[in-house]
Structure 1
Amino acid sequence: MSHGHKIIAAVAGALLLAAGSFLLTYSAPAESSDVLLRGLWGFALCGAVAALGVGIYGLAYASTAKQQRQEQQRLSEGGAGFAPDRLDERPVRPVKFWYTMALLLVGAVFISSAAGTGMTLSALLDMPARIWEFSVQMVGGVAQVPDEEAREDWSLAFDAMLESVAIAWVGTVVGALFSLPCGILAARNMAPLSIYIPMRFILSVIRAVPELVFAVAIFIPLLGVGPAQMGGAMAGAFALGISSIGTLSKLISEAIEGVDPGPLEASTAAGATHVQRIRWAVLPQVLPEVLAIWLYRFEVNIRASAILGALGAGGIGRLISPPNGLFGQRPYDWEAIGITLFVIIVITMAVDQVSGFVRHRVIHGAKVRQKKSAKPGDGAGPDKKQAAAVRI
């Protein structure tokens, strides 16, 4: 297909997109759905603009092609041409016509999606000013001299955030206790096919269900909703624990499948049982990675517990979720919101740093510091040798 035919096909496709989207705006589904109607109008507008742009490009290309044909005709009639030079020997740059058309299609889908959700350009332009205004109010709430009301906001935020950390820790421990045996049973090199396939299926089902569904559909009706004394914290902890089992077991099973087969073969040759093979040939290899995975899941659960709290599963989320939280009041109390967000950020960063240090220590081990050798004449004789390394 020549370049001119590509341009014609692109113009025709853009016109068909615009015309089809315009006609679909009169359909029954579009009339019953505002989101679909706005999205179709966005597609129609993008198709029309794309057709216009490609059409203008085609006219420019047509004029260039006409000049090329005239030059070819002049040369064929014996006219003097240009002598080739080194620049004419450069490779021809590949044409990215369809790549550009694909980018235009992605842009059209983006614009139609923005139009379908009701996004407006005015709200986007007003966003920087609003962000600055609200940020100033939140920083003012954090930096103010605490009065009685501010001290109460700080106390509530710290208590709720510590509750979120406790929920995340309980959920992580529950997930860790069950994930190791489930991960072993889900490893291809540790379990027979009759156990491996059902376990993989069960773990896939657990991973397919978000922790929000576990909390709202199962544990909140069973254990209660609200702060810790009303059962919401326990509901959030168990929801995070069940969800953690699916993710942690998959990661642990993959780590077990990647172990060095040499110790396994050696233990089998020595007559070890299956449990002994796991204890002495598998766990020493994967335990540092498993501990790192558990700690990383703890960090993830801290963020997830804040979201579950907005649904009534305890934690910091209950302070900010409507209708009784900070975002349920009108106008918003941005000073209290700033205090709450500051507490969330500080405690989350602190937990991340501690968890990252422990995870690095588990994976890479303790640092070893070399001690300087004794200088001659400092009283250290040949029999008094110093240690070569000291653990920190």
Structure 2
Amino acid sequence: MSHGYKIASAVVGSVLLAAVSFLLTYTPAAESSPVLLRALWGLAICSAVVALGAGIYGLAYLRTGRQRAEEHRRISSGASGYSPDRLDMRPVKPVKFWYNMALIFVGVLFISAAAGTGMTLSALLEMPARIWDYSVQMVSGVAQIPDEDARDDWSSAFEAMLESVAIAWIGTLVGAIFSLPCGILAARNMAPLAIYIPMRFILSVIRAVPELVFAVAIFIPLLGVGPAQMGGAMAGAFALGISSIGTLSKLISEAIEGVDPGPLEASTAAGATHVQRVRWAVLPQVLPEVLAIWLYRFEVNIRASAILGALGAGGIGRLISPPNGLFGQRPYDWEAIGITLFVIIAITMVVDQVSGFVRHRVIHGAKVRQKKSKRGSGGSAEETRAAAVPV
């Protein structure tokens, strides 16, 4: 396809997209949905702008057509001028017309989506100043000398964050206890097909349901809503535990399917039972990776427990969620919000560092420094050298 046909295709496609978007704004669905109506108007306007730009580019390209044809005839006839040899000609830069049009189309979709969400240019321009103002207020709340109100904010934030950590820990333990046997039954090399397929299906169903749904639809009605004394924390813990079973079991089953088959074949040849094969041929290979997966899930559950708290499942989220939290008050108490966010970030970073250290220790082992030999210079280099030996 020549360059002119590409430009014409881009113009026609943009005009059709603008026309279709404009016509869809008169449909009942668009008239009943402000979000869809704004998105369609944004798509129509952007498509029209792209069509106008491509049309102007096409007109400029057409104006050079006569000059390009004359130059082509002159070089082909060789009557005048210098026609360079093919070996002397510089390589032609590849045309990226469709690549550029794809980028423009992505930009059009972004603008239409921004229009659908009600985003305005004035709000974007005011955002940096607002962020700076709110950040200053939050930092001043953290850095101030604690008075009685500030001490209450710090105490409430620490108490709620420790509750979130406890929720995450219980959820991780529940997931760890059930994920190991489920992961073994979901591994293709450890379970027959009649067990492998149903277990994979059950785990897929569990992973398909978010922990928010488990909390709101099942455990909050059963156990209660609110802080720990009202049952909300236990509801969040069990929601995270059920959700962790699906994720952890999948990761553990994949780790088991990737073990070295040599020990399995050796244990089978020695007459080991299925349980003995799992105990002596599988677990020694996958246990470090399994422990690392459990610790990582603990980090994820801490962040998820803060979100569940906003729905009434206990934890730090209940302090900031409307209507009774910090974001339910008008005007916002940015100093208390800053203290709460600082506690969330600080404790989460501490837990991440500790679990990261434990994961590294489990996977790579410790390095023990051998003592230097007490012999004098007459000792060999092997005896006097200090070596790092992994344990």
Aligned length in residues = 389
**Deviation digits for residues 32-70 of structure 1, max 9, x if unmatched?**
111111111111111111111111221222223321101
Residue 198 of structure 2 corresponds to residue 220 of structure 1 = no
Residue in 2 that maps onto 1:184: 184
Q: Which amino acid aligns with 1:274?
A: H
Q: Which amino acid aligns with 2:242?
A: I
Compute the displacement of 1:28 (Å): 1.6
Residue in 1 that maps onto 2:131: 131
Compute the displacement of 1:390 (Å): 7.5
Residue 48 of structure 2 corresponds to residue 18 of structure 1 = no
- Give distance in 1, aligned partners of 2:176 and 2:319: 29
Compute the displacement of 1:4 (Å): 0.7
Residue 66 of structure 2 corresponds to residue 70 of structure 1 = no
Compute the displacement of 1:82 (Å): 2.0
Residue 304 of structure 2 corresponds to residue 296 of structure 1 = no
SS of alignment partner, residue 89 of structure 1: coil
Q: Which amino acid aligns with 2:257?
A: E
For residues 95-174 of structure 1, the aligned pairs below 5 Å read: 95-174=95-174
Give the percent of matched residue pairs that are identical in Structure 1 and Structure 2: 83
Residue in 2 that maps onto 1:205: 205
Contact 2:367/2:388 (8 A) holds in 1: no
Compute the displacement of 1:388 (Å): 6.3
Compute the displacement of 1:389 (Å): 6.0
Q: Which amino acid aligns with 1:299?
A: E
Compute the displacement of 1:387 (Å): 8.7
C-alpha distance 143-73 of structure 1, shift in aligned 2 (>3 A) = same
- Give distance in 2, aligned partners of 1:136 and 1:252: 45
SS of alignment partner, residue 323 of structure 2: coil
Contact 2:369/2:386 (8 A) holds in 1: no
C-alpha distance 314-70 of structure 1, shift in aligned 2 (>3 A) = same
- Give distance in 2, aligned partners of 1:94 and 1:235: 60
C-alpha distance 135-386 of structure 1, shift in aligned 2 (>3 A) = closer
- Give distance in 1, aligned partners of 2:370 and 2:272: 40
Contact 1:371/1:389 (8 A) holds in 2: no
**Deviation digits for residues 277-328 of structure 1, max 9, x if unmatched?**
0000000000000000000000000000000000000000000000000000
- Give distance in 2, aligned partners of 1:385 and 1:72: 82
Residue in 1 that maps onto 2:238: 238
Per mean C-alpha deviation after superposition, the further-off stretch among 92-101 and 209-218 is: 92-101
- Give distance in 2, aligned partners of 1:113 and 1:388: 60
- Give distance in 2, aligned partners of 1:65 and 1:200: 63
Residue in 1 that maps onto 2:310: 310
For residues 38-117 of structure 1, the aligned pairs below 5 Å read: 38-75=38-75, 79-84=79-84, 88-117=88-117
Contact 1:374/1:386 (8 A) holds in 2: no
Q: Which amino acid aligns with 2:152?
A: E
**Deviation digits for residues 216-243 of structure 1, max 9, x if unmatched?**
0000000000000100000000000000
- Give distance in 2, aligned partners of 1:310 and 1:212: 10
Contact 2:179/2:248 (8 A) holds in 1: yes
Residue 35 of structure 2 corresponds to residue 35 of structure 1 = yes
Contact 1:170/1:237 (8 A) holds in 2: yes
- Give distance in 2, aligned partners of 1:375 and 1:269: 50
C-alpha distance 79-239 of structure 1, shift in aligned 2 (>3 A) = same
SS of alignment partner, residue 64 of structure 2: helix
C-alpha distance 11-385 of structure 1, shift in aligned 2 (>3 A) = closer
C-alpha distance 70-319 of structure 1, shift in aligned 2 (>3 A) = same
Residue in 2 that maps onto 1:376: 376
Q: Which amino acid aligns with 1:180?
A: L
Structure 1 unaligned segments of length 5 or more: list them: none
SS of alignment partner, residue 368 of structure 1: strand
Q: CA RMSD in A?
A: 2.1
Q: Which amino acid aligns with 1:306?
A: A
Structure 2 unaligned segments of length 5 or more: list them: none
Compute the displacement of 1:75 (Å): 4.4
Compute the displacement of 1:335 (Å): 0.4
Contact 2:365/2:390 (8 A) holds in 1: no
**Deviation digits for residues 193-216 of structure 1, max 9, x if unmatched?**
000000000000000000000000
- Give distance in 2, aligned partners of 1:369 and 1:100: 59
- Give distance in 2, aligned partners of 1:33 and 1:297: 39
Per mean C-alpha deviation after superposition, the further-off stretch among 63-72 and 179-188 is: 63-72
C-alpha distance 274-330 of structure 1, shift in aligned 2 (>3 A) = same
Q: Which amino acid aligns with 1:360?
A: H
- Give distance in 2, aligned partners of 1:133 and 1:299: 31
SS of alignment partner, residue 225 of structure 2: coil
- Give distance in 2, aligned partners of 1:173 and 1:164: 14
Q: Which amino acid aligns with 1:246?
A: G
Q: Which amino acid aligns with 1:214?
A: F
Residue in 2 that maps onto 1:330: 330
C-alpha distance 83-194 of structure 1, shift in aligned 2 (>3 A) = same
Q: Which amino acid aligns with 2:220?
A: I
